[in-house]
Amino acid sequence: MTLRLLAVHAHPDDESSKGAATYASYRAAGAEVMVVSCTGGEAGDILNPGLESVYHAQRDLAGLRRVEMAAAQEILGVEHRWLGYVDSGMASEDGSLPVNSFASIPVDISSRPLLRIVREFRPHVLVTYDENGGYPHPDHIRSHDVSMRVWRESGLATHPELGAPWRISKLYYDRTMNGRRADSLLQHIKALDPESPLLERLEQMLAWMRDKPSNVTTQIQIDKFFDARDSALRSHASQVAPDSGFFAIPRDVEAAAYPYDDFELIDSRVDAPTPETDLFAGVDERNDDKQGSAEAGE
């Protein structure tokens, strides 16, 4: 049997800025990886002033973002599914959201397409965001909500119209952006060159990460897959400019200072002592049917 990982993201480009190198590393090792984009990113802005496809973006941003996502998918070698919901954008001052946008639809309804995907793909590992969405965009928070609903229900004999039950083995939150990573990068650069012209920019760029949780249980070494990650991120050219802070740190410096993607193990239905260096630790793919049985351990 082949190990399978499912990563749930809010918008196209989220998969490339959070976890892409891990996905590429597992594909290289022979695992199956599927990325789910819950929305099409229709409410986004053009964040790259030098975008070559600017007229396409102005005319049809949703269409362009599908083209960009297809390019990132090919680079990473992953499977991809659109959950099919409309980008909610940021909430208005009164907290309201567009009618029928992803975050405005009840979780009982919006989780069903993801439940169908899980029962078809049968992942051993599910990666999603924490209850704050990684940052408080309504679609990120709703991505967490639907993921948690599916984690609880996919192995139960409910909604038979959405496929046969499948019990996911392990649940993780993405912790790629965290304070420990930011501090490690800055300290390493300061040690190399206290007068580095990069420092002021990086101090500003990484400051927001210091408030992010560093409760990391699992680190995946990814330095061999920086190129895949960066190429996938550049594919989302409407959202990421070539001089973006994502690319500011020299990759040899990053490899020496912090060559990891970080995750937090939130729940496990297999024996999985932490800390870990493998998201599939404790998963026995040779016993696939037993691990995925409908109500065992629920």
List residues forming the annotated binding site: 11, 14, 140
Cis peptide before 275 (omega within 30 of 0): yes
226/259 Cα distance (integer angstroms): 9
**What sign for the dihedral angle of Cα 232, 114, 260, 213?**
positive
Q: Which run of H or E residues covers position 67?
A: helix 54-76
Nearest to 142, CA basis, from 168, 108, 175: 108
> What are the structure tokens assigned to 217, written together?
């249980």
Helix boundaries (H) for 129-275 = 138-153, 179-192, 198-206, 226-235, 251-257
Q: Report the alpha-carbon angle 16-88-46, nearest 5.
A: 55
Which residues are annotated binding-site positions for Zn(2+)? 11, 14, 140
**Do the beta carbons of residue 88 and residue 142 sit within 8 Å?**
yes
Q: How much is the CA Rg of the chain, to the nearest whole Å?
A: 19
Residue 120 to residues 115, 116, 213, 265, Cα–Cα distance (Å): 9, 6, 33, 23
Nearest to 264, CA basis, from 114, 135, 129: 129
9/109 Cα distance (integer angstroms): 18
